[in-house]
Amino acid sequence: MRSRNHSPHSIARRLFFPSSLVTMASIRVDRLVDPPCKDEVSRVCYTVCMRGQHGRTSHAPRKTVVQYLLSLTACAVMFWPLQLMAGSPSCGEYLEEYTKKRNITRPPRRIPGSLVDSFTLSGLAKLETYYVDDTLGGNGTHYQFDTVEIEAMVQAATKQLAQQRSGSPNRRLRFLDKVVGDALNHFASEVSGTSAVIFGSTSPWYEAMVLASGAHSVVTIDYNRLSYQHPKIVTAIPSQILPLIPREHGGFDVAFSISSFDHSGLGRFGDPLDATGDLKAMQTTLCMLKPGGLLFLAVPIGPDCVAFNLHRVYGKHRLPLLLEGFEILSKFGWDESFMEKRGNFRKSYEPIFVLRKPVPKKTLFGRAADGL
């Protein structure tokens, strides 16, 4: 068995941003009273708990009941003070990490052995393999659309939204396009006249849908180069985003991540390999939104799975972590049965979550919570 350093300094280093197994913002102290070595305790303290009676990992034998309970106690005693002292990473820390200048690199073909437990939540998520290189061998991609093409998309999106409002959508409409349209129509009054940000894009179709819903401007962020020639669309890579955030209004009014954050941290698009890249992306979005702002989110739903490096599938273990910090306003196309339904991870089921960034409560000193 590999020796592991469990000194307070070592544990603190693993818990603090940005290298923690699960970001501090995704953990609440009051959840540590859950059954032993489950949920947040097992994810953060897995090197102490070692999954105990739930089986064994590659680096630890099965524990006896007494060892298991002693490990849990030691984990909780060490973790609680650190959690209380560390708190959540600030928006400044999230944005600093997100906007670091990086070179596009070819994605690795497999997860390094030392990171498998981190990516799979110590075995709670199944590990599958399906390799995709969307960096063109590390050279990066460049998607280009001119004004005429984008205006044609806006007109098509306007027609689609109108058909859905009238109750007679095109029968050939893809499921994801339908639920996005339903969500936009339902929240039309909160999208119209807004500044929007879209994370991840290879075609400006969803930009067109947002503009057709009345947004006055769209900023699209992607790791690879985009050239979307339209007066209401600005494209950027992460290192260019800070000047584009409308800070005078507290952030963007609405955000969209459609089939995007499930890829974050898998390296498929040249982004850095990061077991919690998706969770950090959500918290970074929270920082970019104004208080009360909306996030339209689509990710694959099903039993927890990491199909490396295609995407993640979100089930009962990782989905709550992904949504942490947001208020769930509505779901479109949602079917609870898919959370447990075993299927082909290549054929993803992606409903739409409409989430709201909470309006911070004032403290005794009249100061709101951390933000832009």
Name 280's Cβ contacts closer than 8 Å, sequence gap at least 6.
Answer: 18, 23, 94, 97, 98, 264, 265, 274
Residue 280 burial (CB < 10 Å; 0-12/13-18/19+)? Answer: buried
Looking at 26-30, 165-169, 334-338, which range is the least confident one?
Answer: 26-30
- 30-42: per-residue pLDDT in tens? 333 333 334 444 4
Q: Are 127 and 310 in contact (CB under 8 A)?
A: no
Q: What's the token pair of residue 193?
A: 């006249």
**Per-residue pLDDT at 5:** 46
- 273-308: per-residue pLDDT in tens? 999 999 999 999 999 999 999 999 999 999 999 999
Decide: pTM greater than 0.75: yes
Q: Side-chain half-sphere of 156: how many Cα atoms within 13 Å?
A: 14
113-356 homologous superfamily: Vaccinia Virus protein VP39 (3.40.50.150)
Domain spans of the chain, in order of start: 8-89, 113-356
Across the beta sheet with 311-313, the strand order is 126-130, 305-309, 311-313
Is the pLDDT confidence value at 17 over 60? no
Is the pLDDT confidence value at 61 over 80? no
